[in-house]
């Protein structure tokens, strides 16, 4: 169960002031299960039986079309499950498919169609939207559900490694706009999250691996023991060992959830973004490759870049830098992409725009999380562009040496 705390300091602005203090305790379960809609698994029915206020809960179901293709019986199984639990849920329409992958987040299209569905089927504020899919579909449908009636209850069924170990257990959603990642979005904690580990079996190798980048991310900045575990577990993960992957997903999810619950800033009002280690460049790299790269792949490159940089300014040793970058490569994650060399007509390196965008997003002051040793972090407020370019040079040299 994740509980969010957000202490707001009182500010005196004048003599005649009405003090407003709103404390909103928020808790939601994150369950790990297998065969969520199978006869033996009661996680979902138990949750629905214990949550209010309507019974049966009016419900719409959204399914990532990549997930639906990989599990051709899934929509039928879901519809049958809701029919068998008519005392708990009232399915307003057959499960609705959403384009999977980053195209789900390309502007407001999916958000608008979710709003239209909710209006057409007469769902109220207390109704539920169950979203099964990868991080992109969760983000886009989640934003639609958060906007209708100022927020319906959202049940997430994340179906990729990344969605289970990071995005699906968090409190944010969003879509891409103006060529910028997650430009429009909202903080909207889910009502509940059910990670069905079986769903991961059908992921393409690429998506099976990409989500591990977010596990490395939390390990490098928060948990050295987990980093060592990841290094050890890598061959089994690459060989698609589902039990080892289940361990990775649970532990990374727990670290993400713990950070959100205990950092004191679940809705990111301050500037620090520890969970965005490696992300200032990753978001730019994703946009520059026209989303040819998965988010996790871009994060791996972003972390390699920031590890080179952290070593250059003495935050980590060369040995520690190589440990992380070698571990990412052993996991078959990319640590280089040719767009790092792309320049504007002015000659300025395009990826550096990521620093400006990140600063803009944070509210003027740059705040980049870097490793401070392994398993610890530090926030820096300046990035020396010449050193960033030198870090890119080192990554290119590494890639060339590897290519032979």
Ligand X SMILES: NC(=O)c1ccc[n+]([C@@H]2O[C@H](COP(=O)([O-])OP(=O)(O)OC[C@H]3O[C@@H](n4cnc5c(N)ncnc54)[C@H](O)[C@@H]3O)[C@@H](O)[C@H]2O)c1
Candidate residues 58, 95, 134, 334; the one interacting with ligand X per rule CB under 6 A: 134
Is the CB of 43 or the CB of 186 nearer to ligand X? Answer: 186
Cβ 287 to ligand X shortest distance, Å: 11
Is the CB of 185 or the CB of 371 nearer to ligand X? Answer: 185
Is the CB of 41 or the CB of 166 nearer to ligand X? Answer: 166
Q: Is 369 in the site for ligand X (CB under 6 A)?
A: no
User: Is the bond leading into 361 cis (omega within 30 degrees of zero)?
Assistant: no
CA–CA distance, 181 with 189 (Å, rounded to integer) = 20
Candidate residues 57, 85, 105, 273; the one interacting with ligand X per rule CB under 6 A: 105
Cβ 136 to ligand X shortest distance, Å: 3
Q: Is 294 in the site for ligand X (CB under 6 A)?
A: yes
Query: Dihedrals φ, ψ of 278, to 5°?
Result: 80, 0
Q: How far is CA 221 from the centre of its chain?
A: 16
Q: How far is CA 22 from the centre of its chain?
A: 28
CA–CA distance, 12 with 105 (Å, rounded to integer) = 41
Stretch that binds ligand X, among 66-74, 80-88, 243-251, 266-274 (CB under 6 A): 66-74
Kindly determine how many residues on this chain lie close enough to bind ligand X according to the rule CB under 6 A. 32
Cβ 337 to ligand X shortest distance, Å: 17
Q: Is 102 in the site for ligand X (CB under 6 A)?
A: yes
CA–CA distance, 385 with 393 (Å, rounded to integer) = 12
Q: Is 139 in the site for ligand X (CB under 6 A)?
A: yes
Query: Dihedrals φ, ψ of 106, to 5°?
Result: -80, 85
User: Are the C-beta atoms of 131 and 168 separated by less than 8 Å?
Assistant: no
Stretch that binds ligand X, among 64-72, 85-93, 260-268, 343-351 (CB under 6 A): 64-72
Query: Could you say which residues in the range 152-171 bind ligand X, by CB under 6 A?
Result: 159-160, 162-163, 166-167, 170
Query: Dihedrals φ, ψ of 220, to 5°?
Result: -65, -35
Strand partners, 172: 187
Strand partners, 332: none
Stretch that binds ligand X, among 31-39, 60-68, 80-88, 388-396 (CB under 6 A): 60-68
User: Are the C-beta atoms of 201 and 293 separated by less than 8 Å?
Assistant: no
Number of helices (H), then strands (E), belonging to the chain: the values are 15, 13
For ligand X, the binding residues (CB under 6 A) are 64, 66-67, 70, 100-102, 105, 133-137, 139, 159-160, 162-163, 166-167, 170, 172-173, 199, 202-203, 207, 210-211, 294-296
């Amino acid at each position: 169960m994740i509980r969010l705390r957000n202490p707001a300091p009182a500010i005196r602005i004048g003599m005649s002031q009405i003090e407003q203090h709103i404390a909103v305790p928020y808790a939601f379960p994150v369950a790990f299960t297998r065969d969520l809609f199978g006869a033996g698994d009661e996680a979902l029915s138990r949750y629905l039986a214990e949550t209010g206020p309507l019974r049966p809960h009016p419900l719409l179901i959204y399914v990532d079309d990549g997930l639906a293709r990989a599990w051709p019986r899934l929509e039928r199984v879901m519809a049958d499950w809701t029919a068998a639990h008519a005392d708990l849920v009232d399915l307003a329409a057959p499960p609705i498919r959403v384009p999977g992958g980053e195209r789900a987040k390309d502007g407001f299209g999916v958000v608008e169609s979710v709003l239209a569905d909710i209006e057409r089927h007469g769902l109220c504020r207390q109704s539920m939207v169950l979203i099964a899919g990868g991080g992109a579909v969760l983000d886009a449908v989640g934003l639609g559900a958060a906007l209708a009636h100022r927020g319906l209850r959202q049940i997430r069924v994340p179906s990729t490694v990344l969605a289970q170990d990071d995005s699906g257990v968090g409190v944010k959603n969003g879509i891409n706009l103006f060529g910028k990642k997650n430009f429009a979005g909202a903080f909207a904690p889910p009502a509940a999250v059910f990670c069905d580990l079986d769903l991961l079996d059908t992921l393409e190798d690429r998506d099976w691996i990409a989500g591990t980048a977010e596990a490395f991310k939390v390990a490098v900045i928060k948990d050295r023991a987990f980093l060592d575990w990841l290094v050890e577990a890598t061959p089994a993960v690459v060989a698609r060992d589902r039990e080892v992957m289940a361990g990775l997903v649970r532990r990374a999810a727990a670290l993400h959830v713990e950070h959100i619950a205990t950092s004191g800033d679940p809705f990111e009002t301050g500037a620090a973004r520890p969970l965005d280690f490696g992300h200032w460049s990753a978001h730019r790299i994703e946009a520059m490759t026209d989303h040819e790269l998965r988010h996790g792949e871009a994060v791996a490159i972003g972390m390699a870049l920031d590890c080179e940089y952290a070593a250059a300014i003495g935050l980590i040793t060369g040995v520690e830098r190589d440990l992380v970058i070698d571990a990412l490569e052993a996991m078959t994650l990319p640590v280089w992409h040719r767009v790092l060399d792309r320049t504007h007509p002015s000659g300025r390196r395009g990826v550096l725009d990521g620093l400006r965008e990140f600063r803009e997003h944070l509210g003027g002051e740059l705040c980049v999380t870097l490793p401070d040793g392994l398993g610890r972090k530090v926030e820096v407020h300046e990035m020396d562009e010449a050193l960033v370019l030198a870090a890119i040079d080192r990554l290119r040299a590494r890639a060339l040496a590897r290519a032979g």
